[in-house]
């Protein structure tokens, strides 16, 4: 029967998703608050617990740096009186007792989620604190997030410049902030009952990030449908990952992710100039940031890019080959491209990825797969013939050979 979860309940859910929170307890009476303070350890902060009060400080409902049982008892009794005077109709469910996390070097941030009528769940990040509305510094992104997208979200706010460090203030732990945003996005994606989440403040400094206050609004969800249908962007399809034998070992075939950016640059740099021209149809010396984002940050509903990857000699993942397909809005036709690292051609990677790509398109109901190549690109033309594609003559106007495969 409740649709607004208070701070302790919300933090319990955040804890379950590995989001760091300040130790927090709920107490029904001043005596319980004293007991909870002893359990947490002094000093503590005490706040009123009322479903009818959103901004606790507006009614004198916050006391900080309490370091004795008498101070806790006096603060709770004073809060109860103030609430009765200022909002006599407000319910008082008790008090929140939490460990003090005062750090003058920390940044007060806001993180959370809301539900947009068009795009569904959206993730919010920006500068937080009591003046959050007046500052109005925030950016939004669509879930799911990963580290790359979370850091992009952070970078689109004004507070990002402060988080990078200034004067004698060290830089905040951006990885820790990004990790919170990634887990918030995961929580929102996986639990459709959550329609609003407000974390304010999220304290962040050079040592990490921790949630001080949080609240959550929930609604009944239709479990009969697919919870992922709420999302504007399809999450990473982990079910498409596949470990296969290759060259006496194993490699992983999987969809590409934004985190593959560095490996994709190394893959591109390992291609010969002719292979780059065969793939791009023009000579390109290096990938531009916009091109890299276009190749690695994809909409899995409209396109798919499978990579063959393994752990390289330096311990980092290396990309060996890529097969990509982009469907039209009606999913009638999908255009593909395939590229194998120049030093690994003729070892079966192209056939392996293309078979996976064809099976994926067939499962999605795509009617046909089409592609084109320069006439000199004999390896790709030979590959598609082996896979059953129909190969047309050279198009005199465009200077390419086109090929297609009908999917039954």
pLDDT, position 166: 82
Q: What is the DSSP letter of 374?
A: -
> In the beta sheet, which residues pair with residue 404?
370, 390
Residue 145, C-beta contacts closer than 8 angstroms, at least 6 positions apart: 123, 153, 181, 182, 184, 185, 186
Contact (CB, 8 A) for 350 and 340? yes
Q: Which tens digits make up the pLDDT trace of 256-270?
A: 998 899 999 999 999
Report pLDDT digits (tens) over 6-32: 888 999 999 999 999 999 998 999 999
- 124-128, 319-323, 398-402, range with the lowest pLDDT: 398-402
How far is it, in rounded angstroms, from Cα 299 to Cα 25? 42
Tally Cβ neighbours within 10 Å of residue 295: 20
106: tokens are 């920390």
How far is the C-alpha of 300 from the C-alpha of 255, rounded, in Å? 9
CA distance 354 to 17: 37
Alpha helices in 127-260 (DSSP H): 132-135, 147-155, 159-163, 174-190
List beta partners, residue 405: 369
DSSP 8-state secondary structure symbol assigned to residue 21:
B
User: Which structure tokens are listed for 209?
Assistant: 């990030």
All structural domains of the chain: 25-99 (3.30.1490.20), 107-230 (3.30.470.20), 238-406 (3.40.630.30)
The pLDDT, as a whole number, for residue 229 is 64
Question: In this predicted structure, what is the pLDDT of residue 225?
Answer: 43
8 A C-beta contact, residue 388 and residue 405: yes
* Cα 258 to Cα 262, 266, 292, 293, 360, distances in angstroms: 9, 14, 9, 7, 20
Higher-pLDDT residue of 325 and 285 is 325
Long-range CB pairs of 314-319, under 8 A, 24+ apart, other chains included: 316/262, 316/263, 317/260, 317/263, 318/263, 318/266, 318/267, 319/260, 319/263, 319/264, 319/266, 319/267
How does DSSP assign 32-43, residue by residue?
Answer: HHHHHHHHH-SS
Q: Express each pLDDT in 50-74 by its tens digit.
A: 888 877 888 888 898 999 999 999 9
Instruction: Tell me the per-residue pLDDT of 341-395, one tens digit each, with 9 for 90 and over.
Output: 999 999 999 999 999 999 999 999 999 999 998 888 888 999 999 999 999 998 8
Nearest to 307 by CA among 278, 334, 344, 277: 344
**Token representation of residue 227:** 């919870």
Do 36 and 6 meet the contact criterion of CB atoms below 8 Å apart?
no
Q: Is the pLDDT of residue 222 over 80?
A: no
Task: Please give the pLDDT value at position 276.
Answer: 83
For position 224, what pLDDT does the model report? 38
Residue the block writes with tokens 């962007």: 233
Mean pLDDT over each residue of the chain, to the nearest integer: 89
Q: What is the pLDDT of residues 95-116, one digit of tens each?
A: 999 998 777 788 999 999 999 9
Residue 320 near residue 260 (C-beta atoms within 8 A): no
């Amino acid at each position: 029967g409740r649709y607004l979860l208070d701070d302790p309940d919300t933090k319990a859910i955040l804890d379950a998703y590995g989001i760091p929170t300040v130790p927090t307890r709920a107490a029904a009476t001043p005596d319980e608050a004293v007991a909870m303070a002893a359990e947490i350890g002094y000093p503590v902060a005490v706040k009123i617990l009322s479903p009818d009060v959103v901004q606790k400080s507006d009614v004198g409902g916050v006391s900080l740096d309490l370091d004795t049982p008498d101070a806790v008892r006096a603060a709770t009794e004073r809060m109860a009186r103030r609430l009765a005077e200022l909002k006599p109709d407000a319910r008082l469910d008790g008090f929140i007792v939490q460990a003090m996390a005062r750090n003058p070097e920390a940044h007060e941030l806001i993180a959370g989620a809301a539900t947009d009528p068009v795009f569904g769940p959206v993730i919010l990040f920006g500068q937080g604190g009591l003046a959050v509305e007046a500052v109005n510094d925030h950016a939004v992104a669509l879930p799911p997030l990963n580290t790359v997208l979370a850091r992009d979200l952070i970078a689109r706010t004004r507070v990002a410049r402060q988080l990078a460090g200034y004067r004698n203030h060290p830089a905040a732990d951006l990885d820790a902030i990004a990790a919170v945003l990634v887990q918030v996005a995961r929580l929102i994606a996986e639990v459709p009952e959550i329609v609003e989440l407000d974390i304010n403040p999220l304290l962040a400094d050079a040592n990490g990030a921790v949630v001080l206050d949080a609240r959550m609004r929930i609604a009944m969800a239709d479990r009969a449908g697919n919870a992922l249908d709420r999302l504007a962007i399809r999450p990473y399809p982990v079910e498409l990952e596949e470990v296969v034998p290759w060259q006496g070992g194993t490699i992983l075939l999987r969809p590409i992710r934004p985190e593959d950016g560095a490996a994709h640059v190394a893959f591109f740099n390992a291609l010969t100039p002719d292979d780059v021209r065969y793939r791009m149809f023009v000579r390109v010396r290096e990938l531009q940031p916009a091109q890299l984002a276009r190749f690695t940050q994809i909409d899995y509903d409209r396109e798919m890019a499978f990579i063959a990857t393994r752990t390289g000699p330096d311990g980092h993942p290396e990309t060996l080959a890529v097969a990509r397909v982009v469907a039209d809005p009606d999913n009638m036709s999908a255009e593909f491209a395939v590229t194998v690292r120049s030093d690994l051609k003729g070892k079966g990677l192209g056939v392996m990825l293309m078979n996976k790509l064809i099976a994926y398109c067939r499962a999605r109901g795509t009617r046909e797969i089409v592609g084109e190549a320069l006439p000199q690109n004999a390896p790709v033309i030979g590959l598609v013939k082996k896979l059953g594609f129909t190969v047309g003559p050279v198009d005199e106007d465009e200077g390419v050979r086109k090929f297609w495969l009908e999917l039954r």
